[in-house]
Amino acid sequence: MIRAGSTASAGVVPTAIAAVALAACRVGPDYRPPPLPAGAESPLVSVNPQVETAAPPPDAWWRLYSDSRLDALVQEALKANRDLATADANFAAARAALSGVRTARYPSTEVAAQGVYGRDPVTEEILELGGHSPENIWIYADVFQVAYEVDLFGRVRRSIEAAQANADSVAAIRDGVRVLVAANTARAYASICALGEELNVARHSVEVVQREADISEQRYAAGGGTRFEVERAQALVAEVAATIPSLAGERRATLFELAALLGRTPAQAPADLESCVAPPSLTGLIPVGDGQALIRRRPDVRQAERRLAASTAQIGVATAELYPIIHLSGFYGGAATELSQLTTNAGLIWGAGPSISWTFPNQAGARARVRQAKASQAAALASFDGVVLTALKETERALTTYGAALEHRRALADAQERIHRSFEIARDGYAAGSSSYLDVLTTEQALVSLDAQVASSDAELIQRQIDLFKALGGGWRKPPG
């Protein structure tokens, strides 16, 4: 038994099948994410279990320092940095371009109206055929036009795929800028605080050597020393004091660098940071994750992958140009020499029908564009592999240099402790007459040098930590409030 409506259903099925068949007709390769270089997803080889852990790192990595001032500065930079504002604008432009490309899926419409006074060859010919002399007349027209590209070979769909991948690539560039802004802000803050520590150490060293110089001066005045000892002691005071201006100048310059990162002028630099005299420090192991998570997290890898997707889609766009492009178009309106006739049958104009354009038989140019697109895809694939390898290299190098800096800091701390004890022994021995003044001076020079090296090592250590967090690719997601 045939139910009512079966005929309509039977007509819908072939139509749907035809639509699916047309939709499936998409020339060019379909994109699939490329395989990673061999070993890229393996655990990181330079992880030191005593320093790092395989736990996934938080995106807001700077909060591991438990420093509220650092957190506030990074969040301010992520809102006000000018480079980031530029990246946001570029992303908005890419999204707008994608919206424009997507409109090709739908019919384009246009309304045109005009009034022209004069002559044209067609009108003159019509007048002559009717036995009238050519004359200057008004010609009025109002037309509504519709055009639609039948995307038989997927040119429009591939163009949309390319635009979408390009927008995703620009988004990854923006995320990469966020990573840089977060890292550079933390770096500048840490540098300001570390330089504050170095300044404190330098000032304290001046006090130490000045005290010893005063003692040598007093001994000389009492006849118990030589002028040579006095001059050597004062020279050491001047040498140590000479480091203070350069440290203070470097600290102020870094403060201006931080101001620029925050979107401020130099006059608006955060003056409260002048009181920071110790860089932030971690209290636990550094979470570094693994290679697979690193590749998923880093924006530059995602940017390279999206570029590859866009170049793959461009092959389809270029290939589709080898085939006919079919448009369905139509128009409806009026054309007359009198305005009143535009809405009557006398002035009515309309038309509808298909049009086909095809670059044939000379397709050398179109085939050259296909070869160009394929070459661009090959370059994008090679670039993707290179970016992945670079990401792994940067992370392993950051792990290695951080581990070396940590060992260097520990060795210096041990040497610093020993030289302080040596200085006390030499000074007491000199007072008791069992040590020479040269022993005191030599030990004092080593003490001042090691104190400065330890402070400089603290600065180096925090910078290597930030390099590691930057290599891990964190900081591009918006952290919770």
Our CA dihedral for 239, 242, 246, 249, rounded to 10 degrees, sits at 160
Q: Is 18 among the domain residues?
A: no
The answer to whether residues 129 and 251 belong to one domain is: no
End of a domain among 312, 337, 357? 357
**Amino acid letter for position 53:** T
pLDDT at 26: 85
pLDDT at 136: 84
The answer to whether residues 115 and 94 belong to one domain is: no
**Amino acid letter for position 438:** L
193: burial class by Cβ within 10 Å (0-12, 13-18, 19+)? buried
The answer to whether residues 464 and 336 belong to one domain is: no
Q: Is 132 among the domain residues?
A: yes
Rounded to the nearest 5°, which phi and psi values hold at 118? 145, -150
CATH number at 337 reads 2.20.200.10
Does this model's pTM top 0.75? My answer is yes
pLDDT at 438: 82
The answer to whether residues 114 and 99 belong to one domain is: no
The answer to whether residues 368 and 235 belong to one domain is: yes
CB atoms closer than 10 angstroms to residue 132: 10
**Gap between the Cα atoms of 282 and 190, Å rounded:** 12
The answer to whether residues 36 and 122 belong to one domain is: no
**Gap between the Cα atoms of 28 and 20, Å rounded:** 18
Q: Is 262 among the domain residues?
A: yes
**Gap between the Cα atoms of 303 and 325, Å rounded:** 32
Q: Is 339 among the domain residues?
A: yes
DSSP bridge pairs for 331: 145, 351
Q: Annotate 155-222 with DSSP letters as a single string.
A: HHHHHHHHHHHHHHHHHHHHHHHHHHHHHHHHHHHHHHHHHHHHHHHHHHHHHHHHHHHHHHHHHHHT
The answer to whether residues 142 and 214 belong to one domain is: no
End of a domain among 305, 335, 357? 357
The answer to whether residues 241 and 142 belong to one domain is: no
CATH number at 416 reads 1.20.1600.10
pLDDT at 479: 57
* 3-state SS class at 41: coil
Q: Which residues of 212-232 are buried (b: 16+ CB within 10 A; e: fewer)?
A: bbebbeebbeeeebeeebbeb
**Gap between the Cα atoms of 90 and 167, Å rounded:** 9
pLDDT at 17: 38
The answer to whether residues 333 and 221 belong to one domain is: no
- Of 446, 470, 481, 471, the residue nearest 62 (C-alpha): 470
Handedness of CA 409, 415, 418, 420 (dihedral sign): negative
Number of domains the chain contains: 2
Q: Is 184 among the domain residues?
A: yes
Q: Is 349 among the domain residues?
A: yes
The answer to whether residues 287 and 145 belong to one domain is: no
Q: Is 30 among the domain residues?
A: yes
Q: Is 17 among the domain residues?
A: no
Q: Which residue in the block uniquely carries the two structure tokens 């994008």?
A: 380
Q: Which domain holds residue 331?
A: 108-150+324-357
- Of 84, 89, 95, the residue nearest 166 (C-alpha): 95
Per-residue pLDDT of the chain (481 residues; tens, 9 = 90+): 333 333 334 444 444 434 444 444 789 999 999 999 998 988 899 999 999 999 999 999 999 999 999 999 999 999 999 999 999 999 999 999 999 999 999 999 999 999 888 877 777 776 777 777 778 888 889 999 999 999 999 999 999 999 999 999 999 999 999 999 999 999 999 999 999 999 999 999 999 999 889 988 988 888 878 898 899 889 999 999 999 999 999 999 999 999 999 999 999 999 999 899 999 999 889 999 988 889 999 999 999 999 999 999 999 999 999 999 999 999 999 988 888 888 888 789 999 999 999 999 999 999 999 999 999 999 999 999 999 999 999 999 999 999 999 999 999 999 999 999 999 998 888 888 788 878 888 898 999 999 999 999 999 999 999 999 999 998 888 655 5
End of a domain among 308, 337, 357? 357
Rounded to the nearest 5°, which phi and psi values hold at 322? -80, -15
**Gap between the Cα atoms of 481 and 478, Å rounded:** 9
The answer to whether residues 112 and 101 belong to one domain is: no
Our CA dihedral for 207, 442, 278, 476, rounded to 10 degrees, sits at 150
The answer to whether residues 252 and 171 belong to one domain is: yes
pLDDT at 347: 84
State the helix-helix crossing angle for 299-320 and 364-432, rounded to 10 degrees: 170
